[in-house]
Structures are given as C-alpha cells and as structure tokens.
Amino acid sequence: MKIAVTGGMGSGKSVVGKALADMIGAVSVSADTLCRELLIVGNPGWLRMQKSFGSAFFLEDRQVNRPVLRKAVFSDPVVREKLDALLHPLVRQELFALFRVAEQKGVDLVAEVPLLFEKGWQVDFDYTIVVFSAADICIERVMARDLVSRDDAQESISSQVPLADKVNLGDAVIDNSGPLSVTLEQVKQLVGKLAGESNFKGKTKEE
C-alpha cells in the first residue's frame, strides 16, 4: 500500500510519517529529503538548476546557497514555479523507484509529501493522511526549526494551500496540535483502520 502523509509547514508531517512507518514496518521516504539529495553538487537536480539559474543561487564552493534560495522561493512565484518544474519530475521519478522497492519487499510505503495536493500527486497513492496543527503552533515550529522571523514563517506557510482545505481532501486526519502522546495514539488508531484495506501489508518489526 502506498500511503502519503501531507499537511502544512510546521504541522508535524515528519513526526506522523515516521511513527506510522515504524508501526507498520514500511519503507519510509520524504520528498523534501529526496529534493535535498538531488541538489547535492553534481546530482541531476543540481545540474538542472545550474543550467537554468546560472550562478544566482550557488556558493563559491558550487554548493546551493540554500538560505538565499529558500527566501527567493517563498517570495518570488516565478522562481518557485521554475524550480518546481526542474525538480519535481525528478522527485516523482525517485518516488516511483521506491514504490517498486516496497513492492518487491512486500511492504507498505509511507511518503511525506508536503505539496501532495498542490501538485496533484495524490493520484499516485492509495491513501492520504493530512496532519493538522493550529496556525499559531505551525508558525512557532517553523520559526524554531528554520530560525526565521514570524513574518518569514507566515510567508512560507501562506505559499501553500491552506491547511483547512487540505483537511477536506485527505482520507484521514491526524491532529498534531497537542502532546506527542496524543498524536501517537491517533496514529495507532489509524493503523487499525488501515488494516481493513485490502492492499495493506501491515508488517511490523516483530514479524
């Protein structure tokens, strides 16, 4: 079974995705991690970006200047759309390769995909989970994680589809606004629901 975990920035997608994958013994992947790997010097995403943007977003050692790129992505729609067009086909290609790996292993796959609905990638998955957190909590988490101002955090969050809209698009919702123990209990209950799906493998580490 191919399961996508999505939500807004700072909602806690990684926490839920990792917990779910651990509980069911699934192959786990993050689209953001794939993207970062593609931008390592010499890798396909890096080559495409260099060809398209020249030296605009690179440091002297040829590595991507991530802080500068991040600011441009969230403040300039043209840059964001151009970068998405360069990298997202590569990320999707990597995801499909991992789909095949999970199928060969006979296990489920849990993928954290932040822009799942924005890019229409929900069609690639059997089940979609939206992780929700209150707006103020999301902002505080992004500020702490990325060491940015409140305005910058708000700008980044505003560049995505509103979290309230994503909640209505998913097959299941996990509320990550409270204590971690409460979130994990919701994930545990969700595993019970997934067990009723015909293509759910549900293997655990103990098995």
Q: What is the pLDDT of residue 49?
A: 95
Structural domain contains residue 24: yes
* Dist. CA 94–CA 170, nearest whole Å: 23
Least confidently predicted of 44-53, 66-75, 81-90, 93-102:
66-75
Task: Calculate the average pLDDT of the chain.
Answer: 91
Element containing residue 111 per DSSP (H, E) = strand 109-112
pLDDT: which is higher, 58 or 164:
58
Element containing residue 185 per DSSP (H, E) = helix 180-194
- The neighbour count for residue 76, using CB atoms within 10 Å, is 12
Q: What is the pLDDT of residue 203?
A: 55
Mean pLDDT of 12-35: 95
Confidence of residue 190 (pLDDT cuts 50, 70, 90): very high
Mean pLDDT of 85-114: 95
pLDDT at position 119 over 50: yes
Structural domain contains residue 203: no
In total, how many domains does the chain have? 1
What CATH number did the domain enclosing 17 receive?
A: 3.40.50.300
Q: How far is CA 75 from CA 46, 49, 81, 126, in A?
A: 21, 18, 11, 33
- The neighbour count for residue 198, using CB atoms within 10 Å, is 6
Least confidently predicted of 27-36, 111-120, 162-171:
162-171
Confidence of residue 157 (pLDDT cuts 50, 70, 90): confident
Structural domain contains residue 206: no
Domain with 33, as residue range(s), is 2-192
Structural domain contains residue 102: yes
Structural domain contains residue 201: no
Confidence of residue 204 (pLDDT cuts 50, 70, 90): very low
pTM attached to this predicted model: 0.89
pLDDT at position 106 over 70: yes
For 128, counting Cβ atoms within 10 Å of its Cβ (0-12 exposed, 13-18 middle, 19+ buried), the class is buried
Q: Which of 6, 1, 3, 2 is nearest to 168 (CA)?
A: 6
Q: What is the pLDDT of residue 61?
A: 94
For 129-149, what is each residue's pLDDT tens digit? 999 998 889 899 999 988 888
pLDDT at position 206 over 70: no
Mean pLDDT of 105-121: 94
Structural domain contains residue 204: no
Structural domain contains residue 200: no
- The answer to whether 1 and 125 are in contact (CB under 8 A) is no
Whose tokens are 């979290």? That residue is: 163
* Dist. CA 189–CA 174, nearest whole Å: 10
Structural domain contains residue 207: no
Least confidently predicted of 8-22, 27-41, 157-171:
157-171
* Dist. CA 144–CA 131, nearest whole Å: 19
pLDDT at position 205 over 70: no
In one-letter notation, the amino acid at residue 45 is G
